Structure 1
C-alpha cells in the first residue's frame, strides 16, 4: 500500500539548525501559575518543555496528569528570529544529535513542533539517553524537507516533513488525487486552538471537551505519533475552515484540561479542493514507521 512517490528530494538543501533543551516555564509574577479547565476549575499540572522521562512518541495521547506535554525532549533558541528559523526549518523525521553533556553523540528524530506560539521543536531520544541529559544541552538537527513537493500532485502542499518519512507513508492514488493512511479523521468542528495562526511550524489542537463525541469517533484512543486527517481544514498558509479542503498531520502533544486544547497536531500536508485524501490504517504512527528506539 506504500507506493513510490515522485518528489524533488534530490534538489533539496540539507542544512544544520540547532537549539538547547528548553526549561519548562510559567507566567511571571504577579500572575498565578494556575490555569482554568473547560469547566472553570483551576488546575496546576506539568506542561510543555524540558525533558520528559516517561512519555514518548508511540504512547497514549490521553490520560496523563498533564497539560499538552511534549513527549521526549523540547528544544528552542533564546533569540526569537533564530528560534523561528529552528521551528520552520526542522522537519518531522529529521535526525537530531546531542552535541554536549553526558548524552553527547546520541541520535534522535524530530517528532513535532508546538508550544504556546510555536516556539519549541520536539525530539525523540531513547529513555536511557534522556536520563543523562540536562536542560541547556545543545542539539543539532540535519534539516531537510523545506521546499519539497510531490511532482505528480503539485496542488498538495507539504509542510515540514522529511523525505525519509514521506517515503514511508502508506499511500494510494485515486485518479488525480492522492490518499495517505491515517489512524483517524477529525471533523472540522473538533479542530480547536491554532485556527487562524500560521501553519509554518507549531501545531493545531483537537478539541476534547466532549468526551462522548471522541469515544464515538474513536479519537480517545489516539497515540502520540499517530497520523490523523483534518476534514475541511485548509492549512496552506494559515489554519482555517474550507469545505472540501483536507489536511494530514501527526499527533505531537498530549491532551490537556483546557477548552480547545486537546492533543496537539503538527501539520505535514494540505490541499484546498479534493486533491488530497486519506484512508484508515491502524498502524499509521511515526514511532512504528521510523522504528524509533524506546
Structure 2
C-alpha cells in the first residue's frame, strides 16, 4: 500500500554545521557524572566522530553515556544550531564540504536532546576515518511540513519523505499503523518529557532491567523503530492517554537515571489515529540501505 504524501509542496533547503568536538561544561570542574546508584563515572559521551559504533549496532552495553553513532553536528552559534536541529529530518542526505572526506555523503539518523542538541549523521566507517572535528557538513533539509493524505492527524516530526515511504505500514480499521521492534510503556519514558518535540530526543528509562526485558526492550539496536504509548509529541513530549508516538533509537544507553537509549520521535497522534504492530526487522539501517 502506497501512502499519498504532499511531497510536491515541500521546500528543500540547506542547513549546516560542523563536526562537534566532545566537551565538558566549565563548572563543576570535575568531569565525572553520577550513575543511578550514585557512583561517579567517566565515559565517552556525545559529540565528535565515533569510529566503532554505527546504526544497526546494539543500543545497550557500551562503556559510554548516550553515545551518538557515527558523526555529531552542531551549528556555528545557538541560532543556526537551532535551525539545524529543527529542520534536519531523519533520512535526509548530508554532504561533507571540507576536509579529507570532502564530497562524501551520509544520512541523518537522529537528533540528541537538551544540553547536547546535535544532529546525528551516519557515514560509512572508511569515511569517518578521514574526517576531523570542525569539518563542515551540509544537510539537504527536506520533510518539514510533511503530511499524509487522509491521515492528517498523524503529525510528522523531522521525517523525510524517503524514510516515510520506506517504513513498513498498513491500515487497520482506518488507523494508520507502522511496524516497530517494540513498544515503550509510558512509565518508562524518561529525560525529555515536558520539553519541546522539535529538534530533540526522548529517552527511555533503563535502570529497571527487569521492566526492560518484560517490555521486549532489552535487545534494542540503534536505528530500531519503536512506539511510545500514551505519549503526545505534537508540541511537547507529554503523557496523554490514547496518544502514540513513533521514533528511531538514535543514542545508546548510559549509567544515569532517566537516560536510557534516546529516541528521535518522527511521528505522533493524540487520539488513536496512529498505531503500531510488531516487526522485528524495522530498523533504518536496512530500510535506508545504510553502507557500513
Q: TM tier, shorter chain?
A: over 0.9
Hey, what's the Cα distance between the residues in 1 that align with 2:210 and 2:242? 26
Give the structure 2 partner of residue 236 of structure 1: 234
Give the structure 1 partner of residue 197 of structure 2: 199
1:276 to 268, 274, 277: 274
Q: Does the aligned pair in 2 maintain the 1:90–1:110 contact within 8 Å?
A: yes
Q: Deviations over 1:171-200 (max 9, x none)?
A: 110232100000000000000000000001
1:224-267 per-residue CA deviation (whole Å, 9 max, x = no partner) reads: 00000000000000000000000000000000000000000000
Question: What's the CA shift string for 1:17-58, capped at 9, x where partnerless?
Answer: 110000001121453211110011110100000000000000
Q: Which runs of 5+ in 2 are unaligned?
A: none
Aligned to 1:39: 37
In structure 1, the residue matched to 2:133 is 135
The answer as to 2:86 corresponding to 1:119 is no
Number of positions where the alignment pairs a residue of Structure 1 with one of Structure 2: 292
Q: Deviations over 1:156-175 (max 9, x none)?
A: 10000000000011111023
1:208-223 residue pairs with structure 2 within 5 A? 208-223=206-221
Aligned-residue offset at 1:203: 0.2
**Cα 1:173/1:118, change in 2 over 3 Å:** farther
Whether contact under 8 Å (2:185, 2:215) holds in the other structure is no
8 A Cα contact 2:253 2:260, kept in partner: yes
Q: 1:238 to 1:115 in 2, by over 3 A?
A: closer
CA distance in 2, matches of 1:183, 1:281: 5
TM-score of the two chains, using structure 1 as the length reference: 0.98
* Contact preservation (8 Å) 1:118, 1:201: no
Deviation of 1:215 after TM superposition, in Å, equals: 1.5
**SS in structure 2 at match of 1:167:** helix
Aligned partners of 1:249 and 1:208: how far apart in 2? 17
Other-structure match for 1:6? 4
Task: Tell whether the 8 Å contact from 2:22 to 2:47 is kept in structure 1 after alignment.
Answer: yes
Shift of 1:10: 1.0
The 1-side partners of 2:56 and 2:194 are apart by 29
How many Å separate the matches in 2 of 1:249 and 1:293? 21
Q: Secondary structure at the match of 1:166?
A: helix
Runs of 4+ in 1 over 2 A off after TM superposition: 115-118
Change beyond 3 A, Cα 1:101–1:7: same
| Aligned-partner Cα distance in 2 for 1:70–1:243 | 31
Alignment partner of 1:258 is 2:256: yes
Say if 1:46 and 1:118 are closer, same or farther in 2 by CA, change over 3 A.
closer
RMSD: 0.9
How big is each residue's C-alpha offset from its partner over 1:98-128, in whole Å with a ceiling of 9 and x where there is no partner? Answer: 0100011110000000043462000000000
Q: TM-score, normalized by length of structure 2?
A: 0.98
**In structure 1, distance between residues paired with 2:29 and 2:264:** 29
Structure 1, unaligned stretches of length 5 or more? none
